[in-house]
Amino acid sequence: MNNRSTTRRDFIGRSAALGASVGFFTSLSPATRAEDSPLQGLAAACIGVGGKGSSDTSHIAEQGVSIVGLCDCDGRTLTKKGREFPEAKKFDDFREMLDSLGDKIDIVTVSTPDHTHAAAAVRAMRMKKHIYCQKPLTWSIGEARLMRETAEETGVVTQMGNQGTSEDGMREAVEVIQGGALGDVSEVHIWSNRPIWPQGKGRPVGEDPIPEELNWDAWIGPAPMRPFVEGAYHAFNWRGWVDFGTGALGDMACHTTNMPVMALKLWDPIAMTGIKNPGIFEGETYPNSSALMFEFPEREGLPACKLFWYDGGELPSDDVLAQLPSSFKKRIEAQKAGGRKTSGALLVGSKGSLFSPDDYSSKYHLLPEDDFADFEAPAQTLPRVPFNGDVDQRHKWEFVESVKGQYEPGPMSNFSYAGRLTETILAGNLTMRAKAGQRIEWDAKTLSSPNVPEVNEFVRRDYRAGWEV
């Protein structure tokens, strides 16, 4: 293992430098199957192996990585996944797994609820393990900064699970925007069909017996302890609770804002405003719906820009929606009539607009359509993932091949990029801690608000003893 680690660190130094300048990759490496890699015998330990974590584990294994450790606080989930990987050792506490298998693993996947991402991933990075971590990268803004800095300090290969980053269409859309097809982009509108879990409710009263197969202490992890209530938090409804999740914004914006953030370099907002802001309900859950505005200054020759976010059925104004393709307008009208909620991303420029109707930005339309009837995509400036498979599998291929040193561009959604994306997104949730319509000035360098200081206590959290980052 020591020989493999030395070889890998040589590669990682190059990939980390490339990762810091995402958007300027120009070279591609050929697809290489895991069994052909000079870094034979990669091993992984997987934290959180139910739901999305189940496919994350399986897809890593498909790339020739040996799964030697499985961790889940729910024994039922652990037993089920253990049938797929019978040789893997099973744990219900990631701290114990990392202590036990630390010298036997190269990769750690983290697919837990948001509040334990940093506690698990930072610990593993400090052990020099390469990390695949689900989105959003972290529960708090401060943790996102820490994850980015830790990845850069340790030089490990990292990737966040916003798999749309690996889509050819998403990367082409970035090239189209950066190539000037839209002119100066001054507005971005993103709306989501989330939440699809309970929000806008207070803490349930009472408590239920903790199931014998559930390690409730490990599930709570760094968050303040609270009683177990059947169905309230575990296994799916945690996203709406502020102690554990990041709401609709945290869940989906790492997907839906990914393309415009990358194309327009929408880092470090200078202010955020809750246009529709019912606030955190009883200090416990995110509201049923919200509409937010982020302000970005002039940056690297790009004009000032505003990004608007809408969730829970909220939509942009009718004059904005009027720009959409006629087929999608019908879906909007159906939504307004009480039908299924839609998602979309619209970038408004001085020469035209770009609309993506799917969460991963894998497809896009240039508008008005007649004006772009003869449009040809610009020359390719971003690498494409040379692997045939679904979007999840392509994302894992990019990560594993980068760990092996076989894909020199490295993961595009590395923590240098994903950390900044997550910081930008989670700053929006601070608006829920302020008065409706209150403009929160933001100093991204210090991760603090100079004019609404009461929100600063929510940039980081106090960790429960034994779960510190």
d(CA 135, CA 415): 11
Determine the pLDDT at residue 267.
95
d(CA 148, CA 416): 5
Report yes or no: 323 and 297 within 8 Å, Cβ to Cβ: no
C-alpha pair distances (Å), 306 with each of 14, 269, 313, 425: 34, 9, 20, 13
Instruction: Tell me which architecture the domain covering 2-166+384-415 has in CATH.
Output: 3-Layer(aba) Sandwich (3.40)
Q: Looking at the DSSP assignment, which residues form a beta bridge with residue 91?
A: 71
**For residue 16, is pLDDT > 80?**
no
Tell me what the mean pLDDT of segment 256-272 comes to.
98
pTM of the model: 0.92
Report yes or no: 53 and 117 within 8 Å, Cβ to Cβ: no
d(CA 70, CA 11): 27
Q: Work out the widest C-alpha separation in the chain, in whole angstroms.
A: 65
187-197 tens-digit pLDDT? 999 999 999 99
304-350 tens-digit pLDDT? 999 999 999 999 999 999 999 999 999 999 999 999 999 999 999 99
155-176 tens-digit pLDDT? 999 999 999 999 999 999 999 9
- Give Cβ neighbours of residue 301 (< 8 Å, ≥ 6 apart): none
**For residue 154, is pLDDT > 90?**
yes
Nearest Cα neighbor of 252 from 341, 191, 188 is 191
Kindly list the domain boundaries of the chain, sorted by start residue. 2-166+384-415, 168-199+233-380+420-458
Q: How confident is the model at residue 121 (pLDDT cuts 50, 70, 90)?
A: very high
For domain 168-199+233-380+420-458, the CATH class is alpha beta
308: phi then psi, degrees, rounded to nearest 5:
-110, 135
Mean pLDDT score across all residues of the chain: 92
Determine the pLDDT at residue 7.
38
Determine the pLDDT at residue 40.
58
How many Cα atoms within 13 Å fall on the side-chain side of residue 71? Answer: 24
122-145 tens-digit pLDDT? 999 999 999 999 999 999 999 999
d(CA 7, CA 395): 23
Report yes or no: 192 and 250 within 8 Å, Cβ to Cβ: no
Residue corresponding to tokens 């349930």: 204
